[in-house]
């Protein structure tokens, strides 16, 4: 079945209720950075968002105009499709309890439109532990629904470990994979990419970008094994890494010329409809990539833009931290200060 260690399973609820700031907080990079001075004349902009699910939203969220503008101005948005896209869940009880995820083909485009994301400028990773939550039929239905909606996909085993995507004049290779699964390995094999070894990934692309589903949930600082895997990927030619699965925002790292956003948290709530406030902090990771001759495909600059998902009846409101007030803003800024030291 699933491949979670027992200690991980036992710690899920305590860490959900109280996300942890424990662990090694040293050696990370600032929340924003410039890698090229002077900056390139021409760039393309990538915007990475976290996990997307309908668990906390009965209908489309309300998004602040600043978030809409940030995502609408990107040349490509990359996110993680944490829920199968099905109209009739097959795992009925598990879906009601929240252990199995699902979102409808109606909800997804409405949520994307509310966030200012154009479907033709979006790719979603299916390499995550929830991909088979509604069985093989649900997985196949998800692929068909995303194709109908005109949304690109990454992380499918049938596409090989790397999916090339044209972004302006660049060809960027996206390698999405999951270390975790909620079903038997035989179900994931041949459907969802679990390939984390970049040694044999194809070369000849302008930029190689990994989108891993890794680390342990509800921990703000990545575990030693996660950081070691990031170093290995960077040493194997990966220039950009944007991770998911922790459901809380995690730091940014620099490994040589490679940039790593270890965890972006949730873009739309995925764990339970009502969640403690540290798990409501997410991040939009914006990366400018050079298209100039001589530096083509190099990361020129990056910035992680924190935001907060506030509960509003049966859906969420997404606000930049600057849009908060009072005690909530103070708590969020304090937590971000502890993560991005």
Query: By the 8 A CB rule, do 305 and 286 touch?
Result: yes
Enclosing H/E stretch for 177:
strand 170-178
8 Å CB contact between 273 and 312: no
- pTM, rounded to two decimals: 0.97
Q: Which helix (H) or strand (E) holds 45?
A: strand 43-52
Could you tell me the strand order of the sheet in which 163-167 lies? 163-167, 170-178, 207-213, 240-242, 258-261, 252-255
CA angle 240, 243, 248 (to 5 degrees): 140
Q: What is the pLDDT along the chain (341 residues), one digit of tens a residue?
A: 899 999 999 999 999 999 999 999 999 999 999 999 999 999 999 999 999 999 888 889 999 999 999 999 999 999 999 999 998 888 887 877 778 889 999 999 999 999 999 999 999 999 999 999 999 999 999 999 999 999 999 999 999 999 999 999 999 999 999 999 999 999 999 999 999 999 999 989 999 999 999 999 999 999 999 999 999 999 999 999 999 999 999 999 999 999 999 999 999 988 777 888 999 999 999 999 999 999 999 999 999 999 999 998 889 999 999 999 999 999 999 999 999 97
Beta strands in 240-339 (DSSP E): 240-242, 252-255, 258-261, 281-290, 299-312, 315-320
Longest distance between any two alpha carbons in the chain, whole Å = 56
Residue 233 placed within a domain: yes
Domain assignment present for residue 11? The answer is: no
In a domain, 5, yes or no: no
Please report whether residue 248 resides in a domain: yes
CATH code for the domain of 51: 3.60.21
Instruction: Quote the CA–CA distance of 260 and 281 in Å, as a whole number.
Output: 18
Q: How far is CA 123 from CA 98, 144, 265, 304, 334, in A?
A: 25, 15, 18, 19, 33
Please indicate, yes or no, if residue 24 is contained in any of the structural domains. no
Name the region of 293 (left: φ>0; alpha: ψ -120 to 50; beta: rest): beta
Query: Would 194 be classed as within a structural domain?
Result: yes
Which residue range forms the structural domain that includes residue 140?
37-339
| Angle, vertex CA 259, rays to CA 297 and CA 253, nearest 5 | 175
Number of compact structural domains in the chain: 1
Q: Is residue 20 domain-resident?
A: no
Q: Is residue 203 part of a domain?
A: yes
């Amino acid at each position: 079945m699933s491949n979670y260690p027992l200690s991980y399973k036992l710690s899920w609820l305590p860490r959900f209720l109280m996300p942890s700031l424990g662990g090694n907080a040293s050696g990370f990079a600032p929340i924003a950075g410039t890698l090229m001075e002077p900056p390139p004349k021409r760039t393309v902009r990538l915007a990475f968002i976290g996990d997307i699910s309908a668990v906390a939203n009965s209908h489309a969220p309300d998004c602040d105009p600043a978030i809409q503008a940030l995502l609408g101005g990107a040349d490509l948005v990359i996110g993680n499709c944490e829920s199968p896209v099905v109209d009739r869940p097959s795992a009925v009880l598990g879906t009601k309890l929240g252990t199995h995820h699902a979102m409808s083909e109606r909800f997804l485009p409405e949520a994307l439109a509310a966030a200012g994301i154009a479907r033709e400028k979006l790719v979603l990773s299916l390499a995550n532990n929830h991909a088979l939550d509604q069985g093989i039929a649900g997985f196949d239905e998800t692929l068909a629904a995303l194709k109908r909606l005109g949304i690109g996909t990454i992380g499918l085993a049938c596409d090989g470990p790397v999916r090339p995507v044209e972004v302006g004049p660049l060809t960027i290779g996206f390698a999405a994979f999951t270390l975790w699964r909620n079903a038997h390995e035989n179900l994931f094999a041949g459907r969802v990419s679990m390939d984390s070894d970049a040694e044999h990934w194809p070369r000849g692309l302008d930029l190689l970008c990994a989108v891993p589903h890794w680390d342990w949930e509800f921990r703000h600082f990545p575990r030693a094994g996660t950081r070691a895997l990031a170093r290995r990927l960077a040493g194997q030619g990966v220039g950009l890494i944007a991770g998911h699965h922790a459901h809380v925002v995690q730091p940014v790292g620099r490994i040589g010329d490679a940039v790593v956003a270890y965890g972006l948290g949730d873009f739309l709530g995925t764990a339970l409809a009502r969640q403690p406030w540290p798990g409501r902090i997410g991040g939009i990771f914006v990366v400018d990539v050079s298209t100039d001759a001589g530096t083509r495909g190099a990361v020129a600059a990056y910035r992680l833009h924190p935001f907060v998902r506030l509960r509003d009846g049966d859906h969420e409101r997404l606000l930049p931290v600057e849009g908060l007030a009072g005690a909530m803003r103070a708590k969020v800024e304090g937590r971000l200060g502890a993560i991005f030291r």
